[in-house]
Structure 1
Amino acid sequence: MDGRQSSHREEEEEAAAQKNKAGGWTSFPFIIATLAGITLASSGIGANFIVYLIQEFNIKSITAAQIANVVNGTTNLIPFLAAIIADSFFGSFPVALLSSCFAFLGTVIFALTATIKSLRPGQCIIENGSRLCQAPSGVQYGVLYLGTTLGAIGSGGARFTIAALGANQFHNPHHQAIFFTWYLFTLYSASAAGFTAIVYIQDNVSWVLGFWICVMSNLIAVVVFLLGYRYYRPDIPQGSALVALARVPVASFLKWNSKLSSRTHDYYYHGDHHHDEIVVPAMETQRKTLLRFFNRAALITDGDSIEKPWRLCTVEQVEDFKKVIRILPLLASSIFLSTPVGMLISLSTLQALVMDGQIGPHFKFPAGSISIIILISTSIFLSILDRVLWPLYKKLTGKAPTSLQRIGVGHVFNFVGMVVSAIVESKRLKMLHDINKSISILWLFPQLALVGVGEAFHYPGQVAFYYQQLPESLRSTSTAMISLLIGIAFYISTALIDQVRKSTNWLQDDINFGRVDNVYWMLVLICGINFVYYLICTICYKYHNKV
């Protein structure tokens, strides 16, 4: 009964917000349009970034790849830092707006490098059969790095802070889940447009036009974001949440020899809350819980006072810290969910380079665009899930699937995708060695599509899960958590590839003489072990706010 009353109250609050033109679905178009504009601009530049560095800045291919890796790392790191700043000091809107402006300024500077000839080195010339290229000057490097840095900081800081701002417009967890689905659909669709339409313009018309389209896309995003300001429900920063959480283990260890009490008034509560209205850590001393040790942080002992926050924490801070601790095993599982995908993307590109890319008489599929299949399949399936499968599931079962259930299905699709990848590579090598025939690049599409479908399940599920299960003070940080996890996963995949090269002969410079199929079978094993681990984590985990 309490759950139904709570849900009804949330519906009434959102209806009132709609009436007052603040929050709810009224703000949705502005937030989604902003995300689309920023994502189109960043993907339009990022998709062809390495090619631009090689062709227009005469940068060696390996160096260009290293620069791109630094940019990608920054783009994945910044969302987490921006989210901490938003949660702790300024709120989501100011941080998202400033990040959007940084992204716009970075895109303008980057477009200028293509527009003004003096901002890039001269074209390479052929002399006596040798290709002579002029290296970029210090000023040219400086302008390039300035634009790239601002763009990476801006796009990285805006995307996930906008996600938190959008989710904050709703009180109902179900509406938040719907928002995250459309957020991911927009993110993937806009990225797909950047990877295709913008790249086509850059390759076939001009770099200048392609980059200035990105500038206009970013400018429109900033303008739309500002136009929607009066419709946004503001979020109030709650101080440095991470510092507050860090005080809990410190205070617990400082009082490690204190005996826990079963009396509620022996613990420090924030504000004027009544003891029977919140979770009481003193009551947990009656149960065998592994985390009861941290109850000492809120235990009032001799010498404690509210002026000593590193020695005395509130009950609420203790419970928030426990929420974070309980979720850590699932965070580890999320990292190893994305690690095989990172390797798949890299290896699929290498496979595409040595496969027959001709599709029809007039079109050759570019190897560098092979990962677009993941974006397309994810975008399509996200809409199918939201419009068809989830309503059907709810009609049949009477309830919506939980976030952990959706993530679990994503694990299964990832596993199947790796199995198909291994089988396809085995067939490719057999055809090549037996009859010296390269198979079509179309053979790579099914495995990438399966991984894309898996992302349609687990990516929105993870965003919604961390947003709803982490403490309220970490709302923006929770949406950026996925970016951080993906960044870590890509670093692990890079280290794993390096280790495979050192330990085996599976990854050769010419993959036709290697055994990439064995690498995929290794990823199948990793996916399988991680899925079993995930199931154990979900069995042990208890929702704080079930959706």
Structure 2
Amino acid sequence: MGEVATDMYTQDGTVDMKGNPAVKKGTGNWRACPYILANECCERLAYYGMSTNLVNYMKTRLGMESAVAANNVTNWSGTCYITPLIGAFFADAYMGRYWTIASFMIIYIFGLALLTMASSVKGLVPSCTDGTCHPTDSQKAVVFVALYLIALGTGGIKPCVSSFGADQFDENDASEKKSKSSFFNWFYFSINIGALVASSVLVYVQMHVGWGWGFGVPAVVMAIAVVSFFFGTPLYRHQKPGGSPITRVAQVLVAAVRKWNVPVPKDDGSSLHETLDKESGIEGSRKLEHTEQFRFLDKAAVVTNAEDETIGSSSSWRLCTVTQVEELKAVVRLLPIWASGIMFATVYGQMSTMFVLQGNTLDAHMGPHFSIPSASLSIFDTLSVIVWVPVYDRLIVPAVRSVTGRPRGFTQLQRMGIGLAVSVFSMLAAGALEVVRLRAIARHGLYGDKDIVPISIFWQVPQYFIIGAAEIFTFVGQLEFFYDQAPDAMRSMCSALSLTTVALGSYLSTVLVTIVTKITTRNGNVGWIPDNLNRGHLDYFFWLLAALSVANFAVYLVIASWYKYKKTADYTDADKGDRTHDH
């Protein structure tokens, strides 16, 4: 009878809407995912539909100069990758992922509705004469309030939706665990379907129909996302929030420092403090096994003679459990892997900067009457992702699985490493095209600022396509890795942490461009990246990024060989098999 009950309920601590143990047959798994994936697709469509052309809105409607408009968009975009830390904290600590997504989606809709009104309601729309608009300070203020409401709204959705979707699969069930890995592939696929529609259809609407419709459609789409999400409510499984993760981390550090001179017993950790019952003492979190790394932190769980008598009432600021200590160790172990993703995000960021500048100098004609904007070529990155997801999920994983015997095919670390290696080739492809371009310039004497080089812009497609392939390995691998290796009660926070690599990658790109420009323009030299690229050496910049990517990959190999996968106290034989050859 006990076995039947065990098979009936999930074993990873998930509960249903009423807080009861989740029944396997009636909740979660793929049956709950269409609502979550549809929500993500619509949310990303709304986000990219509104943000892709935002710089043009600020220039034409808000009368800003190019540099000011670009900085405003960059600052706002950076904020959209920092606010997930706020949403993730609320999700893990107090609200749970479901209620965090639900609450922040409402804020998001208010922001989109306000932006739509600012671009369509009389009195909020700036007056324009002879193609020049003259917005008042209050009209600008409405736009920025709307944008930062959207930034706050996306902060509660970005770090939670992927984790909430993964929560629908019980990792203690072999078949569901395999499906969880597949879920992350299709999650990223749904993001790119939304981005594809946004960068093609919605940008056209904004440029040819009007900004009111251009922002109104994303608002309607976001409303559909909300309806989709709530529609699946009876099917969802929920992880209970575990209280403030920041407090628990601080308690371990304080307790360890307080006992800096207390020796750690030389055993397998069995003498360290842990709760005696089955639960870890942290709501919604399983116990974690003791590990040997970072032994200084183990001091927080050492029971001294003074604490031995009052162990039941001892403060967590003096004595922590092994699971609490291992939570912090798990996060510390993630940080080097996280840092290795910043260089990849820098390469990824070139699509919206250097690739566009390179494309501006190439022949953009498609036939006699149509030319493609260089910024629109990023659609080939999106198409690459859409092609690679089913190829990876349906062909590559089964093929590799038959060789390695692992359910996922590659380990998560291997998958991310392959993406880092592939990204090098996108920089090599961009550099090679630049060499060809510079030779054509020398051959034809096209050194003028406005001169177009007689090379089709479509020769840029390979560098976009290669980045799309690299994303499937590294970005999707990161999504899965940070969810899987994060402590149960800190999954949203760790997902938010992985998102910050995109923001930091953009900042690193800015720093590199600034340093390169300063060094290469000494003594009156033109430099690698002048305003007139026909007189520059953009190929050197691409070689630099390729070299840095190779160095980053080499460091990553060292980090990956050092990394130890998380073990819960109840991890299964299947887990053991998956971890015997982790690297």
TM-score scaled by length of structure 2:
0.85
What do residues 175-232 of structure 1 show as CA deviations (whole Å, max 9, x unaligned)?
2211111110101111121011111111122222222211110111111111111111
Going from structure 1 to structure 2, the CA distance change for 1:174 and 1:478 (only over 3 Å counts) comes to farther
User: Aligned to 1:206, which of 202, 205, 210?
Assistant: 210
Q: Is the 8 A contact 1:421 1:447 kept in 2?
A: yes
Equivalent AA in structure 2 for residue 438 of structure 1: P
Equivalent AA in structure 2 for residue 466 of structure 1: F
Q: Is the 8 A contact 1:39 1:155 kept in 2?
A: no
What do residues 87-113 of structure 1 show as CA deviations (whole Å, max 9, x unaligned)?
011100111011211111111111112
What secondary structure, in the 3-state scheme, does the structure 2 residue paired with 1:439 have? strand
Going from structure 1 to structure 2, the CA distance change for 1:433 and 1:528 (only over 3 Å counts) comes to same
2:390 aligned with 1:383, yes or no? yes
2:140 aligned with 1:110, yes or no? no
2:304 aligned with 1:301, yes or no? yes
Determine the C-alpha separation between the residues in 2 that align with 1:19 and 1:273: 21
What secondary structure, in the 3-state scheme, does the structure 2 residue paired with 1:115 have? coil
2:541 aligned with 1:541, yes or no? no
Determine the C-alpha separation between the residues in 1 that align with 2:358 and 2:270: 66
Q: Offset of 1:134 from its aligned partner?
A: 4.9
What do residues 287-320 of structure 1 show as CA deviations (whole Å, max 9, x unaligned)?
xx55112111111225546553222211111112
- Percent identity of paired positions between Structure 1 and Structure 2: 30
What secondary structure, in the 3-state scheme, does the structure 2 residue paired with 1:123 have? strand
2:64 aligned with 1:55, yes or no? no
Deviates more, 1:302-311 or 1:194-203: 302-311
User: Aligned to 1:267, which of 267, 272, 275?
Assistant: 272
Q: Is the 8 A contact 1:267 1:300 kept in 2?
A: yes
Q: Offset of 1:13 from its aligned partner?
A: 11
Pairing 1:490-509 to 2, within 5 Å after superposition:
490-504=506-520, 505-509=527-531
2:23 aligned with 1:40, yes or no? no
Going from structure 1 to structure 2, the CA distance change for 1:70 and 1:137 (only over 3 Å counts) comes to same
Q: Which residue of 1 aligns with 2:491?
A: 475
Determine the C-alpha separation between the residues in 1 that align with 2:288 and 2:260: 21
What do residues 482-526 of structure 1 show as CA deviations (whole Å, max 9, x unaligned)?
211111111111111111111111111222221110000000110
Q: Which residue of 1 aligns with 2:156?
A: 157
Pairing 1:156-195 to 2, within 5 Å after superposition:
156-172=155-171, 173-195=177-199
Going from structure 1 to structure 2, the CA distance change for 1:221 and 1:174 (only over 3 Å counts) comes to same
Determine the C-alpha separation between the residues in 1 that align with 2:517 and 2:125: 36
What do residues 248-270 of structure 1 show as CA deviations (whole Å, max 9, x unaligned)?
22221211111222476753213
Q: Is the 8 A contact 1:238 1:473 kept in 2?
A: yes
Determine the C-alpha separation between the residues in 2 that align with 1:274 and 1:23: 23
Q: Which residue of 1 aligns with 2:429?
A: 420
Going from structure 1 to structure 2, the CA distance change for 1:434 and 1:31 (only over 3 Å counts) comes to same
Q: Offset of 1:39 from its aligned partner?
A: 0.9
Q: Is the 8 A contact 1:58 1:136 kept in 2?
A: yes
2:227 aligned with 1:223, yes or no? yes
Determine the C-alpha separation between the residues in 1 that align with 2:435 and 2:206: 36
Equivalent AA in structure 2 for residue 229 of structure 1: T
Equivalent AA in structure 2 for residue 481 of structure 1: L
What secondary structure, in the 3-state scheme, does the structure 2 residue paired with 1:149 have? helix
Which 4+ stretches in 1 moved above 3 angstroms?
Answer: 6-14, 16-20, 262-266, 277-281, 302-307, 395-398
Going from structure 1 to structure 2, the CA distance change for 1:8 and 1:389 (only over 3 Å counts) comes to farther
Q: Which residue of 1 aligns with 2:581?
A: none
Determine the C-alpha separation between the residues in 1 that align with 2:79 and 2:562: 34
Determine the C-alpha separation between the residues in 1 that align with 2:536 and 2:64: 29
Going from structure 1 to structure 2, the CA distance change for 1:8 and 1:227 (only over 3 Å counts) comes to closer
Structure 1: tracts of 5 or more residues without a match:
1-5, 127-132
Q: Which residue of 1 aligns with 2:147?
A: 148
Q: Which residue of 2 aligns with 1:71?
A: 76
Q: Which residue of 2 aligns with 1:28?
A: 33
Q: Is the 8 A contact 1:40 1:191 kept in 2?
A: yes
Going from structure 1 to structure 2, the CA distance change for 1:229 and 1:188 (only over 3 Å counts) comes to same
Determine the C-alpha separation between the residues in 1 that align with 2:13 and 2:315: 38
Going from structure 1 to structure 2, the CA distance change for 1:247 and 1:438 (only over 3 Å counts) comes to farther
What secondary structure, in the 3-state scheme, does the structure 2 residue paired with 1:27 have? helix
Determine the C-alpha separation between the residues in 1 that align with 2:343 and 2:550: 11
Which is helix-richer, 1 or 2?
1
Q: Which residue of 1 aligns with 2:355?
A: 348
Equivalent AA in structure 2 for residue 380 of structure 1: V
Determine the C-alpha separation between the residues in 2 that align with 1:12 and 1:274: 11
Pairing 1:273-422 to 2, within 5 Å after superposition:
273=278, 281=290, 289-304=292-307, 306-399=313-406, 400-422=409-431
Deviates more, 1:342-351 or 1:521-530: 342-351
Q: Is the 8 A contact 1:417 1:448 kept in 2?
A: yes
What secondary structure, in the 3-state scheme, does the structure 2 residue paired with 1:438 have? strand
Q: Is the 8 A contact 2:412 2:480 kept in 1?
A: yes
Q: Offset of 1:18 from its aligned partner?
A: 7.3
What secondary structure, in the 3-state scheme, does the structure 1 residue paired with 2:363 have? coil
Q: Offset of 1:274 from its aligned partner?
A: 10
Determine the C-alpha separation between the residues in 1 that align with 2:365 and 2:11: 53
Q: Which residue of 2 aligns with 1:528?
A: 550
Going from structure 1 to structure 2, the CA distance change for 1:66 and 1:536 (only over 3 Å counts) comes to same
Q: Is the 8 A contact 2:433 2:460 kept in 1?
A: yes
Q: Is the 8 A contact 1:463 1:478 kept in 2?
A: no
User: Aligned to 2:441, which of 432, 435, 456?
Assistant: 432
Determine the C-alpha separation between the residues in 1 that align with 2:12 and 2:49: 41
What secondary structure, in the 3-state scheme, does the structure 1 residue paired with 2:127 have? coil
Q: Is the 8 A contact 2:363 2:457 kept in 1?
A: yes
Q: Which residue of 1 aligns with 2:524?
A: none
Q: Is the 8 A contact 1:45 1:214 kept in 2?
A: yes
Determine the C-alpha separation between the residues in 2 that align with 1:125 and 1:202: 19
Q: Is the 8 A contact 2:9 2:23 kept in 1?
A: no
2:246 aligned with 1:242, yes or no? yes
Determine the C-alpha separation between the residues in 2 that align with 1:395 and 1:389: 10
Equivalent AA in structure 2 for residue 454 of structure 1: A
Q: Is the 8 A contact 1:36 1:187 kept in 2?
A: yes
What secondary structure, in the 3-state scheme, does the structure 1 residue paired with 2:455 have? coil
What do residues 395-429 of structure 1 show as CA deviations (whole Å, max 9, x unaligned)?
34433221111111111210111111111111111
Structure 2: tracts of 5 or more residues without a match:
1-5, 15-20, 172-176, 281-285, 447-452, 521-526, 568-574, 579-583
What secondary structure, in the 3-state scheme, does the structure 1 residue paired with 2:348 have? helix
Deviates more, 1:180-189 or 1:18-27: 18-27
Deviates more, 1:354-363 or 1:313-322: 354-363
Going from structure 1 to structure 2, the CA distance change for 1:461 and 1:8 (only over 3 Å counts) comes to farther
TM-score scaled by length of structure 1:
0.91
2:473 aligned with 1:457, yes or no? yes
Q: Offset of 1:481 from its aligned partner?
A: 2.5
Q: Offset of 1:445 from its aligned partner?
A: 0.9
Equivalent AA in structure 1 for residue 474 of structure 2: H
Q: Which residue of 1 aligns with 2:18?
A: none
Going from structure 1 to structure 2, the CA distance change for 1:509 and 1:446 (only over 3 Å counts) comes to same
What do residues 232-252 of structure 1 show as CA deviations (whole Å, max 9, x unaligned)?
112200001132023222221
Determine the C-alpha separation between the residues in 2 that align with 1:125 and 1:484: 42
Determine the C-alpha separation between the residues in 1 that align with 2:105 and 2:287: 39
Determine the C-alpha separation between the residues in 1 that align with 2:7 and 2:470: 30
